[in-house]
Structure 1
Amino acid sequence: MSTTKWVIDPTHSEIGFKVRHMMFTNVSGKFSKFDATIEAEDSNLENSKIEFTGAIDSITTGNADRDTHLLSADFFDAAQFPEIKFSATSFSKIDEGEYVLVGDLSLHGVTKSVKLIADYGGLMKDPWGNTKMALALEGKINRKDWGLNWNSALETGGVLVSEEVRLNIELQFLQQ
C-alpha cells in the first residue's frame, strides 16, 4: 500500500493554548511559527506518522511584556529549549470523525505522553484542485509535568497562573 504525505497549510492552521490567570480569567496564546506533517496509508489516518514542531520564540499572547516573560528561564527558557515537538504514537478511532491522538510531547527538555481528542473533518478539494484535510485537536496538560513551575501566590489565595494548560489546535493539511 502506498503512503500519502500531507503538509501543513500554515495560513489556515492555528496552534493555540489557554491558561487561567488569577484564578478567574483566561489568557490565550499561540505559536506563529510551526510545521506539521502526516504520512498516512489511507484517509482514516489510523497508523499514521504525525509530527509537529513549533518555535518557542514565536509564542504570542498579545502582550509583549508577558511574551518576554514566557520566553525567559522562568517559563519556556527559549534560549536553551528553542523548540516544542510532538510525535504521534497512536491515532485511534472512537466514533465517526472522532479520534484519540496519543503522542510524545517534548518541551523544556522533558518528553511525556499526551492524549488529545481529534475531530477529523475529512477530505475536501479546494477551488484550485488541491486535496485538503482538516483536524481539530483539544486536550489538557499540566505545565509542571514539563518543569514549567514559575508562579506567584495571590494575597486573596490561589495562584497567578494555573498549572492546567488547555490546548486548542486547528490544522489544515495539503496532500502532496
Structure 2
Amino acid sequence: MAFRTPAPSSAWSLDKAHSKLGFSISHLTVSDVEGSFKKVDAKITCTGDDFTDAVVELTADVSSINTDNDGRDKHLQNADYFDAEKYPTITFKSKTFKKLKDNTYAVTGNLTMHGVTKPVELRAVARSGTNPMSKKAITGFKITGVINRIDFGIAPSTPNAMLGEEVTLTANTEFSKD
C-alpha cells in the first residue's frame, strides 16, 4: 500500500484596489452600455504554481453596480432587472481551470445570478511576478466570457432590440499569494 501526502494548498487573495469586474451590453442595437461592480471579493486556492488545479470563488455585491448613471444603477437594482433586495449577490465557483497554452486557461464553473445557477465557460490570461514592495508572489488574470441575461431571468420580457441578450463579462484581477 502506498500513501500519498497531498500537496500543500496555496491561497491567493484578491487585491481589490487593482481589480475590476465589468460588463457590457448592447443598448438599442447601436451602442454598448458598460458597467462594473464596486464591491467584489475573490480567492484562489491551488496546489501547483501553474493553476491547473485552481479553484476560484468570486462574490459581487449587486447593490454596488455602477454604470456611471445613478438613475440607471438604481433601476438595475430593482425587480425589473437584478432584484438586489431578493438576490443581493452574484457568485461564481470554478469547476475546472484548464491550461490551453502558455498563460491561457479555459475556466468552467457555476455562475449564480438572480437566483439562477448556470454553468459558464470563461477564458483567462495570466501574468505572474513578484510585488517589489511586499516581495509576495502576485498573479493577474484578464478573464472574459459571454453569458445570456435571459438564461438568468434578467429582464426576460425586454426585447433584444432594446437591450441585448448577450452580456460580455470582463474581469481584470490581481491576486497576491497569502
Fold shared per TM-score above 0.5: yes
Q: Is 1:58 aligned to 2:60, yes or no?
A: no
1:114-158 deviation per Cα after TM superposition (whole angstroms, max 9, x unaligned): 0001001123333231221111100000000000125555xxxx6
Superposed, 1:1-176 pairs within 5 Å as: 1-150=7-156, 152=158, 159-176=161-178
- 2:128, 2:137 within 8 Å by CA — same for their partners in 1? no
- 1:74, 1:150 within 8 Å by CA — same for their partners in 2? no
- 2:37, 2:65 within 8 Å by CA — same for their partners in 1? yes
The alignment-based identity, stated in percent, is: 33
1:46-81 deviation per Cα after TM superposition (whole angstroms, max 9, x unaligned): 111210001000000000111011001000000000
**What secondary structure, in the 3-state scheme, does the structure 1 residue paired with 2:74 have?**
helix
How many corresponding residue pairs? 172
Corresponding letter in the other structure for 1:82: P
1:17-64 deviation per Cα after TM superposition (whole angstroms, max 9, x unaligned): 000111011110000001000011011111112100010000000001
- 1:151, 1:159 within 8 Å by CA — same for their partners in 2? no
1:89-113 deviation per Cα after TM superposition (whole angstroms, max 9, x unaligned): 0000111000000000000010000
Corresponding letter in the other structure for 1:56: V
Structure 1 segments (4+ residues) deviating >2 Å:
122-128, 149-153
Corresponding letter in the other structure for 1:37: K
Task: Return 136-145 or 117-126, whichever deviates more.
Answer: 117-126
Which TM-score applies when normalising by structure 1?
Answer: 0.94
Which TM-score applies when normalising by structure 2?
Answer: 0.93
Task: Return 36-45 or 121-130, whichever deviates more.
Answer: 121-130
- 1:97, 1:122 within 8 Å by CA — same for their partners in 2? no
Q: Distance in 2 between matches of 1:53 and 1:60?
A: 16
Q: Distance in 1 between matches of 2:165 and 2:158?
A: 12
Q: Distance in 2 between matches of 1:123 and 1:93?
A: 18
Unaligned runs of 5+ residues in structure 2 are 1-6
